[in-house]
Amino acid sequence: MRLKFAVAGLFLSLAVPAFPQAAPSAVQGGLPITFGAAISTFYTDYSRYESGPTVWLDWNFYRGPSLLQGLSIEAEARDLDYDRTGDNANLRETTGGGGPLYHWRHWERIQPYGKFILSFGGIHFSNAPGDNYTHDTRTVYAPGGGGDFRLWRGLSVRGDYEYQFWPDWRNHHTMNPYGFTVGASYDLGRMHAQ
């Protein structure tokens, strides 16, 4: 019986290199990094809208258990300082931080995702004449979600929604800006994938 197992093991080990596929289709080539740039428009919780650039960088987990293959760690920066509407002419919000992002990779071209970003946020604003309190910083919590639509190889269009929590704002009020981001990203890991 042992001889049969040894012969079967020998034939199996000889057959493994003969599989016709050179590499598994789920293996990505290149660096596991996605970078992107976009324009964001947010309602600032000050009765006004602002727009500005957003950039991000994702570190993707392509290998490992299948459950983790949609997971990324995202670093994101946003500067809302343009296209002001409303009454606070000096309002400007900036955030920079990171957190987990999870893509649902069920379809090839469309990949919805959810994220939770923890940021350091700064806000500049106008106050009554004589009041020198015109800048503040906070830790900002921001759940969000969206989707990537792959155009060609690693190039995608991204649409994103984010809802921010700026806690303990004036009189212990939580300020809640929210908005949309539309832009493009490039996945260096998909650059050489078939």
What value does the mean pLDDT take over residues 11-33?
A: 53
Each residue of 48-62: pLDDT tens digit? Answer: 889 999 999 999 887
Nearest to 88 by CA among 125, 43, 134, 135: 125
Determine which helix (DSSP H) or strand (DSSP E) holds 100, and give its type and residue range: strand 92-103
Per-residue model confidence as pLDDT tens digits over 151-164: 988 899 999 999 99
Partners of 79 in beta bridges: 94
Task: Write down the pLDDT at residue 14.
Answer: 45
pLDDT band at 24 (very low <50, low <70, confident <90, very high): very low
pLDDT of 35 = 94
To the nearest whole percent, how much of the chain has pLDDT over 70? 76
The confidence score (pLDDT) of residue 88 equals: 63
| Cβ proximity of 62 and 189 under 8 Å | yes
Q: In the predicted model, is pLDDT for residue 92 greater than 70?
A: yes
pLDDT at 193 over 50: no
Say what the pLDDT of residue 143 is: 97
Whether the CB-CB separation of 87 and 47 falls below 8 Å is answered with yes
The encoded tokens of residue 181 equal 């981001």
The pLDDT, as a whole number, for residue 158 is 95
CATH number of 29-187: 2.40.160.20
Residue 45 has pLDDT above 70, yes or no: yes
